[in-house]
């Protein structure tokens, strides 16, 4: 990314007829530092400097984050998945950290339930901060992840209950199968018949 951005900065500077010294003066760094940024060698450079560098050569630099690899999980997250595993009928299988099949896609399902028809993708959320963003992320993952239904596990906390209450009717659209019906189905080894959201208390860590 440093190299690609540096090349864009250099091309824009040359197209604008600016010297490295002129750009350096505008953003408050040395000409040699401008050269290092353009070559992708300035590993220490700050986002603020990058933004000012872009502005000096006529580029609007914006940073965004996209779903990538599976984030690090803490003990509480593992315990939540374990509590779900305990609900499953012995006829069902449960694999964790299952990568999506698309080559180059770093995403993975927190779990996959097998043995009840089509695979069921399982995602566990410890804290819901933005329901709409979570819903979009899960929809994309379902589209790309080879599953027709999802079980969303949510830690049963006051914060999450408030977030889910705010989501309102949207919950029923994305997760039409009630938690009670889904739990009954997986306990019996059956397919729940659709996506479901299940609130689960997080077991105390020993």
Q: Count of domains in the chain? A: 2
Residue 206 has pLDDT above 60, yes or no: no
The answer to whether position 187 is within a domain reads yes
> Would you put residue 17 in left (φ > 0), alpha (ψ -120 to 50) or beta?
left
C-alpha to C-alpha distance for 170 and 166, rounded to whole angstroms: 9
Q: Please indicate, yes or no, whether residues 103 and 148 belong to a single structural domain of this protein.
A: yes
pLDDT band at 168 (very low <50, low <70, confident <90, very high): confident
Q: Residue 152: beta bridge partners? A: 123, 197
Residue 24 burial by CB count (10 A; 0-12/13-18/19+): exposed, middle or buried?
buried
Residue 65 has pLDDT above 90, yes or no: no
pTM for the whole structure: 0.65
Among the ranges given (24-28, 106-110, 176-180), the one the predictor scored with the smallest mean pLDDT: 106-110
Q: Please indicate, yes or no, whether residues 103 and 195 belong to a single structural domain of this protein.
A: yes
Q: Please indicate, yes or no, whether residues 86 and 153 belong to a single structural domain of this protein.
A: yes
Question: Distance of CA 4 to CAs 43, 85, 192, Å?
Answer: 13, 45, 47
Which helix (H) or strand (E) covers residue 36, if one does? helix 31-38
- Mean pLDDT, range 109-130, rounded to an integer: 91
| CATH number assigned to the domain comprising residue 129 | 3.40.1350
Residue 75 has pLDDT above 90, yes or no: no
Q: Can you read off the two tokens belonging to residue 108?
A: 């993975």
Question: Distance of CA 122 to CAs 38, 86, 117, 168, Å?
Answer: 44, 14, 15, 22
- Mean pLDDT, range 87-93, rounded to an integer: 95
Q: Please indicate, yes or no, whether residues 116 and 189 belong to a single structural domain of this protein.
A: yes
C-alpha to C-alpha distance for 108 and 42, rounded to whole angstroms: 32
Residue 6 has pLDDT above 80, yes or no: yes
């Amino acid at each position: 990314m440093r190299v690609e951005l540096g090349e864009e900065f250099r091309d824009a500077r040359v197209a604008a007829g600016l010297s490295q010294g002129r750009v350096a003066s505008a953003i408050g760094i040395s000409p040699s530092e401008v050269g290092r940024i353009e070559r992708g060698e300035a590993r220490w450079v700050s986002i603020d400097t990058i933004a000012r560098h872009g502005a000096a050569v006529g580029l609007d630099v914006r940073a965004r984050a996209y779903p990538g690899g599976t984030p690090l999980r803490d003990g509480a997250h593992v315990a939540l998945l374990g509590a779900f595993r305990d609900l499953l009928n012995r006829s069902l299988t449960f694999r964790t950290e299952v990568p999506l099949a698309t080559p180059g896609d770093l995403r993975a399902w927190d779990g996959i339930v097998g043995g009840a028809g089509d695979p069921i993708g399982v995602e566990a959320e410890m804290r819901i901060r933005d329901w709409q963003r979570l819903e979009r992320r899960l929809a994309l993952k379902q589209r790309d992840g080879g599953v027709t239904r999802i079980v969303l596990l949510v830690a049963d906390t006051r914060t999450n209950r408030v977030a889910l209450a705010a989501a309102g009717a949207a919950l029923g659209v994305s997760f039409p199968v009630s938690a009670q019906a889904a739990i009954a189905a997986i306990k019996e080894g059956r397919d729940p018949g659709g996506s479901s959201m299940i609130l689960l208390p997080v077991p105390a860590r020993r």
